[in-house]
Structures are given as structure tokens and as C-alpha cells.
Amino acid sequence: MLSGVAAFGAMTVVPAAAAVAASPCQQAPSPGVPIPPLAPRDPLISQLGLDQAWTQATGAGVVVGVVDTGVDPSSPKLAGAVAAGRSYHVVDTSAVYASAAGGQIDCDGHGTQVAGIIAGRTAAGDDRVSGIAPAATVYPVAIQSEIAQAPSALIAAAIKDAADHASVVNLSFAQSTDSPDIRHAIEYAEHKNVVVVASAANETGQTASGPSYPAAYPGVLAVSSIGGAVTGNWIDLAAPGTSLTTVTRGGKGYVTVSGTSFATAIVSGVAALVRQRFPDLTAPQVIARLEATALPPGDGSRDDAEGYGVVDPFAALTALSTPAAGGASAPAGRVPVPALHGARHHGSNHTVLGVTAALGALAVLVALGTLSVRAGRRRGWYPGYRPPAAVDERVAEPQPAELG
């Protein structure tokens, strides 16, 4: 099988300036807010030990397919990061759907936010906002229809398209029903040696209420947000998913987002790092490495809230071998990271260090407004998805070396 790097490393990326012509979107994007020049670094860098992880891999040469609402590449953080992609929409014929070249239109914003977390650039040393794999390429597959009513055949075609162009595919959506079309599309991706990462639904405080698809399909890496998603024995990993800072459509400023959609984007970014570092690993081996090196929850065993634990980028990149998930083999190194686990751990008395608290220690989140949301359009296919409630402006505090 071809590795992700060998198969997709030569993809042409369309410059951002060429992508922002006349927009078909009915509403103009609501701008985010700039982050002050002296604002702190993106909290995820320290939370996940990314400084150390980036000494091993940055995602260069790896393509991540994002099946979502499209990706607007106009943010400086996505300049040069987004391939042309493809767009799918519903048609009123027996064909059910049609597609066209170009996935760089995002009339919702969700796909752009996901892409920023996966591959936001840190060019010129600007790490106030950063993607997990800042040298990876995003291949956007835009679903331009009312997603809640989109036929399964359309979604399946979009997944197959992503699998044809990427070695990691991010699916930040969840459905409660098993669709044969989508299941077969997942099998198609796995046959092509693609790592498929999908999100669990956001139903905080609930016990297992049935699996979420496509996350629950065999071979898919199912991701939960720490302390904020449904539980079940089909969950594989967890990642931070609260108060994350990312780009917004329109290219101006940043927003704060929460939900398993964005925890999933983090894991997809880490998968891209592993695919670069170990180009000969198969997709199942990449998944096994991520599971085996995760920071385990509670008493160290797998649980239904976080699966094998919180994804650990540096450990995944430095393990001496790829043990079976839950195996006894220890990684070669592990960067000390905060205990980010939620509170649902077999009666554990661990101190809960939520991501919001960690953000608060580094920065002050100021609510400056609410992004406009079209009635009836907000994420029908993301059960429990919490849309960006406020733009983000972190207060800049002078560093000691900068004081006169």
C-alpha cells in the first residue's frame, strides 16, 4: 500500500488570493476579533506538548481531507494550506447529488474552523493561534446542501472523494443511525489505507445512548471531547474540545469554539504528524499507535468516556514500537502535560483541570459578541454541537524580557 506521504505529497495548493472571488453565500461572514500582538501562545501548544512533538514532525507532505461545510482559505493562518478540493450539493434528479471542482467556499464557518485547528500555520514565529500539524495540507470536501437533510449517498460520495486525495480524513459530524452508504464509504477509505477520524456526539452528562456514526464503524478512530460527549465502548480517544481558538470564514480575526468537532480536528492533526513521522505504517497501525500512547484515564484502564485516554502527540511520535492498544509497552518519551481528563473516571479523585481553566491561566477570554446564525441552519448533523458563542480576544501581558 502507498503511504499517505507517497501518495499525496505532491498535491497542488491553490493560493488563498485566488480562492476569494464572488461568494455564493447568502450572508457575509461575521468577522472574528484580532488577537493582540503580545498575546500568549496558543494554550494547546503547552497542553499537548507540541513544541516537543514538532521536533519530530509538523505534518509536512501529509494531506488531511476535511469533509465538512467547505474551507475558506482567506485567513493568513490558512495561506498555502488549502488545496482546491471539491464541492457536493443536492439535485432534484434521480442522481440525488452533483459535484463540482472547488471546496474553498464555506457559507457556514464550521469547516474553516476545523481546518484551522488541524493545519493553521505558525509562519514567522506567530504561535498565538496554531494548528496541530502546521505544515499539513487540507483537502476540503464541501457539502453545500442542508446537511441535516443531505442524502446518505451524497455524504458517502464526499467521504470517498476525500479518501482518494488524503491519507487522513476528518469527519466532524455524528449521526444516530447506521447508513449502509456511509458505512461502505468508510470501508472504501480503509481499503485505501486512509486513517478515518470521526467525532462522537456532544451530549454532556448523558450515559451511553447508542453509538454515533460514522465514529462507531469498525476501523474508525472515534473521538470524544474531554468531559463533553456521549459515552460508549466504541469511543477510542479524547482530546480537548472546550474554548479553543481558531480561524473564521472571511479571513478576519479569530473565534472561540467548543465541541467534539474540534477535539476530532486535534486528533486528525496528530494523525497527520504520525503519518509524516512513520510513512510506512498502515492506517490501522497509526490508529493503534495513537491509542497505545494516549494518556490513560482514571485508573489507567480504558473507559467509555475517553476510550484509551487523551491523545499524546509526543508519545505517539517517539514510541519505540507500535504496540497493541492498551498494551504494556511504554513509549520512549512522554512530555509532562496537564491531567486534562474529565470527571467521569471510575470514582477517581483526580483534580479536574479543564481546558477552560487552562485557558484562563494563560489568557482572558472576552465575550465581544455573538456570531450570527441563520435560523434552522445551525449544524443539523452535529448533534449537540455548540456553535461559536463569542469571538476571542486574549489580553496581552508584557513578558519580563520586554520590560524596559
- Quote the pLDDT of residue 337: 55
- Quote the pLDDT of residue 11: 46
- Quote the pLDDT of residue 181: 97
Please tell me the pTM assigned to this model: 0.80
**Please, what are the domains in the chain?**
4-20+27-395 (3.40.50.200)
97, 98, 179, 223 from 174: Cα distances, Å: 20, 23, 12, 11
- Quote the pLDDT of residue 339: 54
Residues recognised as catalytic: 68, 110, 261
Parts of the chain with a pLDDT under 50: 1-12, 14-20, 204-208, 326-330, 343-387, 389-404
| Separation CA 258–CA 164 (nearest Å) | 29
C-alpha radius of gyration, the chain, whole number: 19
